[in-house]
Chains A and B, each alone.
Chain A
Amino acid sequence: MSEDKKYEFLNINETLYKTQISDNFKNRKKWEIPDVSKVFSFIPGTIEQINIEVGSKVNEGDDLLILEAMKMRNRIKAPISGTIKTICVKINEIIPKNHLLVEFE
């Protein structure tokens, strides 16, 4: 029973409880309001084709690029209509999930 325990305080419904806190809880990502002007990858994969350049004007639903993942050429579509501000990936680049692909103005 002499194991090292590191007690901290956890707030549950306005009461502070002395307890050990999991790393998962400590490292959890704070939720943020989603930014619709940024397009992130929904799956890890390889950028196979880029249909746009900086300054391109696109309509909601247009194909921005193709992300090859799981033996499928996934079309990444514009979530909004607008002008492309930055393109954050290159052809053949291997990217993880939730990687920033394209930013709108």
Chain B
Amino acid sequence: MSLIDRTKDLLKKREKAEGGGGEKAVKRQQSLGKLTARERILALLDKDSFQEYDLFIRHDAQDFNMANKELAGDGVITGTGKIKSKPVCIYAQDFTVAGGSLGLMHARKITKIMDHAIKMRVPLIGINDSGGARVQEGVNSLAGYGEIFYRNTKASGVIPQISVILGPCAGGAVYSPALTDFVFVVEGISKMFITGPQIIKTVLGEDISMEELGGAKTHTQLTGNAHFYAESELECFEQIKELITYIPWNNTKKAAAFKARPPKPKYNINNIIPNDAKEPYDVRNIIRAISDESKFFEVQKDWAKNVVIGFSRIEGESVGYVANQPDFMAGVLDVDSSDKAARFIRYCDAFNIPIITLVDLPGYLPGVDQEHAGVIRHGAKILYAYSEATVPKLTLILRKAYGGGYIAMNSRHLGADFVFSWPNAEIAVMGPEGAANLIFRKEIAMANNPDKVRQEKMDEYKEKFANPYVAAGKGYIDAVIEPHETRKFLIHALEVSSDKSVQTPERKHGIPPF
């Protein structure tokens, strides 16, 4: 055969393999409202930037009449490409080929592209759409999962890892996304669970739909397993592209800087917070009031809403926010919000993104359920994450900072680089009501008019402690600032911290309260 003939043969082979599971299976995929694996990759990556590898891989199943079956690409597409002109490694499971089931060679393709990503220090994006383990391949398919998890763990904190759930992701398969940095889900398409509804029904008699058990809303609102929710696959890809702008390409780099732009005048920082410390407001408006273009890219916005986390830019530089949300559960810390904040702090620290902490909280949520759910060890995660983090850490106390919450929210004592406070801040062991009742219990009980005495004692306590000057007097706060000066102070603090360097004693790793 001549080279021309051989080339024709190659093109024929390529076309066949690129057809995935064939027309019928592709039609079925489309009828479920899903794009094909190839369409997904092309929609996510820059135009004409995708290079595919291992298209002709052959599966390894010998038994159960599998030996002569052809599985295009063994049910997964892998390759490299670019997003916003920067390189990424990517894989997408192809549900049209044997249900995207994971056999040995399917897994080898994935681990090979993962190894590339780790070696080349570029982000890894995994698109999951798979019926699960290929049962015909037995323990080999389990081996495949394990080898993926191992690499997810090794890559953690070295390169950004993004998981996109665009179909079923069940059983052991869920643990790869769970080990990665960010999980994206789409309404009606994503399904994640360890044990499916059928087994739950036969074994336990509990009747639940796939959507309620592990759909997109379940994981963004209830479990916190997913970070971003989208109505459609295309919206999901736009979210991924936006996220990518805020994070660096690997842990040795900083996120790309953008042109500095002022916040929008619509967000007037002087008018957002009510004077009464018991009145709610949306802390995200404070973030918008200090961020470039008033843009805030929120992470996990529908779960543990009492703490807000996410990215924005200040003078063009990427920053991560952790902020108490008085609008929801009074902004308390509890089991879930501690988990949420702590993981995000560690993410920012691993990828050189300065952390800005906005404080306005009454403390930890009281209750038997919280105590018995282990709020001690969960709450400790925040302390650990802040204390461990060596990126620039800035804190702004907006209003209340009471008790353990004051310490936990990146206080000076946990290594904050700069702590600012607005003049209306109340920094104390507890709120005036609680404190008056505790310190002056006897006086109040013995008074002819207990309510009046309580009020007097509350006022006295407020006067004495409910202000930032006691903390400022000890140097726990670096500056008490006017609200309108906030952005200026933060910009300066970020500028002077840009070469921050911290030496920590050598160790294998710490033992955070997982």
**Interface residues, chain A, with chain B CB atoms under 8 Å away:** 1, 5, 7, 10, 12-22, 25, 28-31, 44-45, 69, 94-96
Instruction: Tell me the minimal C-beta distance from B10 to chain A in angstroms.
Output: 50
CB atoms of B203 and A31 under 8 A apart: no
Chain B residue at minimum C-beta to C-beta distance from A97: B204
| 3 A-B pairs with least C-beta separation | A17-B330, A31-B368, A13-B434
A20 to B433 alpha-carbon distance, docked (Å): 21
B23 lies within 8 A of chain A by Cβ: no
**Which B residues, 415 to 440, have Cβ-Cβ distances below 8 Å to chain A?**
430-434, 437
A12 to B434 alpha-carbon distance, docked (Å): 9
Chain B residue at minimum C-beta to C-beta distance from A43: B204
CB atoms of A45 and B431 under 8 A apart: no
**How many inter-chain contacts with C-beta < 8 Å in the A-B complex?**
81
CB atoms of B367 and A28 under 8 A apart: yes
With a CB–CB cut-off of 8 A, which chain B residues contact A1? Answer: 282
A69 to B204 alpha-carbon distance, docked (Å): 9
CB atoms of B205 and A96 under 8 A apart: yes
A12 to B363 alpha-carbon distance, docked (Å): 8
A14 to B306 alpha-carbon distance, docked (Å): 19
With a CB–CB cut-off of 8 A, which chain A residues contact B434? Answer: 13-15
With a CB–CB cut-off of 8 A, which chain A residues contact B328? Answer: 19-20, 22
Instruction: Tell me the minimal C-beta distance from B289 to chain A in angstroms.
Output: 13
A21 to B334 alpha-carbon distance, docked (Å): 13
**Which B residues, 466 to 510, have Cβ-Cβ distances below 8 Å to chain A?**
none
Instruction: Tell me the minimal C-beta distance from A17 to chain B in angstroms.
Output: 4
A38 to B245 alpha-carbon distance, docked (Å): 58
**Interface residues, chain B, with chain A CB atoms under 8 Å away:** 203-206, 278-280, 282, 305-306, 326-332, 362-363, 365-369, 372, 402-403, 430-434, 437
CB atoms of A28 and B279 under 8 A apart: no
Q: Knowing A22-B305, A28-B367, A96-B206 touch, does A14 contact B431 (C-beta < 8 A)?
A: yes
A38 to B51 alpha-carbon distance, docked (Å): 64
Chain B residue at minimum C-beta to C-beta distance from A19: B330
A94 to B430 alpha-carbon distance, docked (Å): 49
A25 to B363 alpha-carbon distance, docked (Å): 16
With a CB–CB cut-off of 8 A, which chain A residues contact B365? Answer: 12, 25
6 A/B residue pairs, CB under 8 Å, sorted by A:
A12-B366, A15-B431, A15-B434, A20-B327, A94-B205, A96-B206
Q: Knowing A22-B305, A28-B369 touch, does A15 contact B278 (C-beta < 8 A)?
A: yes
CB atoms of B204 and A94 under 8 A apart: yes
CB atoms of A14 and B369 under 8 A apart: no
Q: Which of B327, B330, B437 has the most CB of A within 10 A?
A: B330
CB atoms of A10 and B330 under 8 A apart: yes
CB atoms of A12 and B205 under 8 A apart: no
Q: Knowing A17-B280, A28-B367 touch, does A22 contact B329 (C-beta < 8 A)?
A: yes
Instruction: Tell me the minimal C-beta distance from B368 to chain A in angstroms.
Output: 4
CB atoms of B278 and A18 under 8 A apart: yes
- Select which of B204, B280, B282, B367 is within 8 A of A18 by beta carbon: B280
Instruction: Tell me the minimal C-beta distance from A99 to chain B in angstroms.
Output: 10
A25 to B332 alpha-carbon distance, docked (Å): 12
With a CB–CB cut-off of 8 A, which chain B residues contact A18? Answer: 278-280
CB atoms of B362 and A14 under 8 A apart: no
CB atoms of A17 and B204 under 8 A apart: no
With a CB–CB cut-off of 8 A, which chain A residues contact B206? Answer: 44, 96
Chain A residue at minimum C-beta to C-beta distance from B331: A19
A69 to B199 alpha-carbon distance, docked (Å): 12
With a CB–CB cut-off of 8 A, which chain B residues contact A19? Answer: 280, 326-331
Instruction: Tell me the minimal C-beta distance from A72 to chain B in angstroms.
Output: 12
With a CB–CB cut-off of 8 A, which chain B residues contact A25? Answer: 329, 365
A57 to B237 alpha-carbon distance, docked (Å): 66
Instruction: Tell me the minimal C-beta distance from A48 to chain B in angstroms.
Output: 13
CB atoms of B278 and A17 under 8 A apart: yes
A55 to B326 alpha-carbon distance, docked (Å): 57
A30 to B369 alpha-carbon distance, docked (Å): 8
CB atoms of B205 and A13 under 8 A apart: no
Instruction: Tell me the minimal C-beta distance from B125 to chain A in angstroms.
Output: 32
With a CB–CB cut-off of 8 A, which chain B residues contact A94? Answer: 203-205
Chain B residue at minimum C-beta to C-beta distance from A44: B204
Instruction: Tell me the minimal C-beta distance from B370 to chain A in angstroms.
Output: 9
Instruction: Tell me the minimal C-beta distance from B298 to chain A in angstroms.
Output: 14
